[in-house]
Amino acid sequence: MLSLTLKEVIHQIQQGKICAKELCEKCIARAARVKELNAFTTETHNIAKKQASASAERQATHATLPLDGVPVAVKDNFCTKGIRTTCASHMLESFLPPYNATMVEKLLNNGACLLGKTNLDEFGMGCGSIDSIYGPVRNPWNYHFVCQSLEEAGLQLGSKESHSMTYSQLKARGIHMSAQSRSKVLRQTREAEKMTEDVHCGSDWYIAGGSSGGSAVAVASGVCFGALGSDTGGSVRNPASYCGVVGFKPTYGRLSRHGLIPLVNSLDVPGIFTRTVEDAAILFNHLGGHDVNDSTTVSDPFHKQDLPDISIKDLCIGIPKEYHSPGISEEILNAWKWAADLFEKAGAKVIQVSLPHTQYSIVCYSVLCCCEVASNMARYDGIEFGYRAENNESTEELIAASRHYGFNDVVQGRIFAGNYFLLRQNYEKYFMKAQKVRRLISEDFQKVYSKKVDILLTPTTPTEAPLYSWFSEQDNRTRTAEQDVYTQPVNMAGVPAVSVPVRLSQAGLPVSLQLIGQSFKDHDLLTVAKWFEQQVKFPRLDLSYLD
């Protein structure tokens, strides 16, 4: 049941083949089994059960809603009424919003069941989901689950009751063992406890990507069938690439940002995680459209569209030469070349194109990001919003103490940099110049598309998911500059993009590629991505052995 796609689950619920309550219980059970991946900051299982019960009642009367009974997760920077929304920061650790973000409201109004809020880099600043007050998110691929080892320690005694119990638990239950069995269980228990200690003390594992790593892991591990993330410079597509799921960033203005706690207002876009491209299109259909609460959403009518099966013989696929950059791995490069050949053999025209200002994009992004961060974070002073320190010596001391504890080093660093760029003597030199370069980056995409190029094909990330030990050797700023090199130009231009998993690397990790479309032609992009996905037949992660 948990291996189904969102489309299949919707169909079976509406046909009465799956009970919404049973599906919810299975997802909650899976969440417990993969808890050590640390995908969630707040679990809302009781709320999800009530929502599933309501779905089951509608199911019984054949009055189901479009997403009735579908378990979903939401990144912990979307406001959820009465449910803690923390941005993985001490600053908002106890924040209970009085309203739902528009994206959350649309999910719930369509019958979805909210399993919880997912982990992220603090305030969405990062590309690894390791800078969170709740600890890092772990990638489920090639991960050795501790719960599996604990079960192995309690097995092989011939008693069903002894399944997954340690020696102390067996003794407390009054289960008697021979000396040989007791010795074996004690040894296995010590090994399992050592493994538990190793994992929680930093034993090596692959990162989930970020900043929406929790949402990507929740979908990849089978806990839910869709999840919301936010994408400022690649924060949906990056973790989607590392975790082997589909990550869709729509055109800026297609999805409402109302209730999404802002990082960079001019770049933030709500994003969608699913297992298939068609699933992403289903959620997009139910989430898109103008929102009176968000003036940046376009007022043009939003039309729901199914993704047709197409022939790509009339398509022109562009390969940006600037994306063949230093640091790209052989695995990614080979997959990119293979995909270009795949399109060409299927009849599409594949040509090399140029986006000449790409080389300046990451620097431009860094300046604009810090400037808007400095502005957005100014509200968290311990007086109007956010954590309040107990320092009452003066207003200045109170604000300084509140922000010192409330923000981590990454957030503080971006605030300092942003305020420096915005100083009167630096404003023209940094902020205004970055805005001009951003316009040039956007025009690069417009020029390419004006030459009858339909879709751009690029890598999503320079490598497959790196190990935590390697990733944490450098600071957040350095890693972000490395990992977002292919994704953040898309945000600068405001165009849609989707990351699609293609194959597994020699190490057994997902390798993904990015398809970039034209503004407001999101469904056209997803249609091509669906065709591509059907050709590659990526093997999704199967964790059914944990159940």
Helix axes 20-33, 6-14, angle to 10 degrees: 150
CATH homologous superfamily of 6-139+209-311+520-546? Amidase signature (AS) domain (3.90.1300.10)
Burial of 456: CB neighbours in 10 Å, binned 0-12, 13-18, 19+: buried
Cα atoms in the Cβ-side hemisphere of radius 13 Å centred on 383: 12
Q: Which is more confident, 193 or 464?
A: 464
The C-alpha atoms of residue 24 and residue 5 are separated, in whole angstroms, by 15
Give the tens place of pLDDT for each residue, 101-150. Answer: 999 999 999 999 999 999 999 999 999 999 999 999 999 999 999 866 55
How many Å separate Cα 434 from the centre of its chain?
Answer: 27
Q: What's the confidence (pLDDT) of residue 183?
A: 59
Tens digit of each residue's pLDDT (9 = 90 or more) over 418-463: 999 999 999 999 999 999 999 999 999 999 999 999 999 999 999 9
Torsion on CA atoms 74, 76, 79, 81, rounded to nearest 10: 80
Catalytic residue selected from 21, 55, 75, 132: 75
* pLDDT tens-digit map of 17-53: 999 999 999 999 999 999 999 999 999 999 999 999 9
Give the confidence band of 153 by pLDDT, cuts at 50, 70, 90: low
Q: Which of 89, 162, 211, 361 is catalytic?
A: 211
Provide the angle, in degrees to the nearest 10, between the axes of the packed helices 146-154 and 179-200.
Answer: 170
- What pLDDT band is residue 203 in, cutting at 50, 70 and 90? confident
Annotated active-site residue 160? The verdict is no
What's the whole-number average pLDDT of the chain?
A: 92
Q: Pick the catalytic residue: 235, 256, 361, 519?
A: 235
530 is catalytic: no
Query: Is 174's pLDDT higher than 60?
Result: no
Q: Are 475 and 216 in contact, with CB atoms under 8 Å apart? A: no
What's the rounded Cα separation, in Å, for the pair 242 and 217? Answer: 9
pLDDT band of 83, cuts 50, 70, 90? very high
So what's the pLDDT on residue 180? 57
Residue 211 among the catalytic residues:
yes
Q: Is the pLDDT of residue 393 over 80?
A: yes
| In the block, residue with structure tokens 């032609």 | 521
List of residues 6+ apart from 436 with CB closer than 8 A: none
Residue 171 reports pLDDT greater than 50 = no
Q: Please report the pLDDT score of residue 146 as a whole number.
A: 82
Kindly report, residue by residue over 490-500, the tens digit of the pLDDT.
999 999 999 99
Each residue's pLDDT tens digit, 259-311: 999 999 999 999 999 999 999 999 999 999 999 999 999 999 999 999 999 99
pLDDT(524) > 80: yes
This prediction has a pTM of 0.91
Percentage of the chain modeled with pLDDT above 90 = 88
Residue 154 confidence class, pLDDT cut points 50, 70, 90: low
Question: How sure is the predictor about 392, in pLDDT bands with cuts at 50, 70 and 90?
Answer: confident
Contacts of 507 (CB under 8 A, 6+ apart): 142, 464
- What is the rounded CA–CA span in Å between residue 412 and residue 409? 5
Measured between alpha carbons, how far is 246 from 239 in angstroms, rounded to an integer?
Answer: 9
Residue 155 has pLDDT above 80, yes or no: no
Does residue 185 have a pLDDT over 80? no
